[in-house]
Chains A and B, each alone.
Chain A
Amino acid sequence: MFLTEKPRPQGICRYLENQAWSRYCSPQGFYPLALALIPWLALSALVACAAGLFLGLFIAPVDPHQREISRIVFIHVPASWVSMLLYLATTATATIGWAYNVRLAVLAAQALAPTGLLFAFLVLWTGCLWGKPIWGDWWVWDLRTQLELAQAFLFIGFIVLHMVLENQQRANKAGAILLQAGVLGVVVNFTAEQSWTAWHQGKHAVPVDVSYSEWASLLLMSLGLLLYGGVAVLLRLRCVILERERQSDWVARRGRLLQ
């Protein structure tokens, strides 16, 4: 009796296979879930951004040295945090998709990268606008601006690889390796904030106590931008899934149900 039984997956694989949510790990299962999540994420993003903007523009005190220009911090820093998070998420999904051949992870990486690029651009744009009155120049080649610029170029490289290479597996493998090369830069960029010597406001930076309202504004704006990122990524993921899976049975079945 025992010899006729098929070998069953053990350990973590067996656990994951038996979970109810595991069906959402396929493009087919995730597609309707994404649609259900989008309105809730969009509403939460609006509320968080509205609260963060109110605190940042009306409640939080201005920096005594930089004055009103310091209010850019409430858009620049959250955009920077979100761009770093999206970079790490793109790297993680591309790596999982490559290493474990998870189709949804490969598609998710493709959906994450353009939004990550958008946030990297916003960081550079707001940084330039902040830099002109503080540094006297739109652009300064310091450590953190270079790292952010490199991050934007790595996102562009990943997107271009997927556009150029026909073979999706090869494109994802090359993209994952490319993004992994920049992970250390993201870590350095994030931790550089803790070090005054690397902080890119330089001599204009003064170690002031950050008030609760400033922290609340920064965190709410970060949450709002992250939730917006979630909406954009889910919308794009649904597009990518349909584009890549248009020949599959479930897309055809869905088409019949819609008619």
Chain B
Amino acid sequence: MNWHPLLEFLQMKGYALHVWGSYLAVPALMLVELMLLLLRKREILRHLGWRHDELGEVDESS
């Protein structure tokens, strides 16, 4: 198998650190944000004494 085009693409003509550093920072920070939000939610549910927070079709506003 010829890996040359793939390696060339990953190297970005010498700008790999800059290009991939930019592209990977976005999903990395997004995942961190989502994980922090899920942890916060879990902490709130624990504080309220709820095991989960999905009521399905129940609409408590009505």
Contact = CB atoms under 8 A, between A and B. Distances in A.
Contacts of A26: 61
A238 B38 CA distance: 11
B58 A23 contact: no
Contacts of A239: 37, 40-41, 44
Contact of A71 (B12, B25, B26, B29): B12
Interface string A226-238: 0010011001101
A126 B30 contact: no
A68 B44 contact: no
A236 to B, nearest CB: 6
**Looking at chain B, what size class is its interface with the partner chain?**
20 to 34
Contact of B55 (A23, A28, A258): A258
A97 B32 CA distance: 29
Interface of A: 23, 26, 28-29, 31-32, 35, 53, 67-69, 71-72, 75-76, 79, 114-115, 118, 121-122, 125-126, 129-130, 132-133, 225, 228, 231-232, 235-236, 238-239, 242-243, 246, 250-251, 253-255, 257-259
Given A130-B18, A258-B53, 9 more contacts: A68-B13, A75-B22, A121-B29, A232-B30, A235-B34, A239-B41, A257-B55, A258-B55, A259-B50
